[in-house]
Amino acid sequence: QVQLVESGGGSVQAGESLTLSCAASGSTDSISCMAWFRQAPGKEREGVAFIYSPLGRTYYADSKKGRFTISQDTTKNTLSLLLNTLEPEDTAMYYCAAGPCDYNTYVLGRVEYKYWGQGTQVTVSS
């Protein structure tokens, strides 16, 4: 089992930045893929940024490229998401997710994210 705990959310003004963190514990050797998802009220959950941990390869949903940066610290088993130039449309609950995978599965976008955190709220006001 893997436990994920997010932190770093908050209320900010448009144009400001936030850094979200996700602390992983438990059987972390069993996971190779990690990601950030978000869900806004009344909307479906969407993927934001993804990383293949063994190689540090990243992928971003098109609309997030250039504003969001996913990174990892494998020595501390932490995953981060830097949110720059936030917009009111970025208001959502942000979730950290993790799962076992190989590189092909990651590239094809077919990762099953078995483990999820409780989420951290990001609210952006105009």
Q: Is residue 62 scored above 70 in pLDDT?
A: yes
Q: Which two tokens stand for residue 55?
A: 């190689």
**97 vs 55: CA distance, rounded Å:** 18
**115 vs 126: CA distance, rounded Å:** 33
Q: What's the confidence (pLDDT) of residue 64? A: 66
Q: Which two tokens stand for residue 42?
A: 């009344």
Q: Is residue 36 scored above 90 in pLDDT?
A: yes
Tokens 């449309």 belong to residue? 89
Q: What percent of the chain has pLDDT over 90?
A: 87
**35 vs 98: CA distance, rounded Å:** 6
pLDDT band of residue 120 (cuts 50, 70, 90) is very high
- Smallest Cα–Cα separation from 16: which of 69, 65, 83, 93? 83
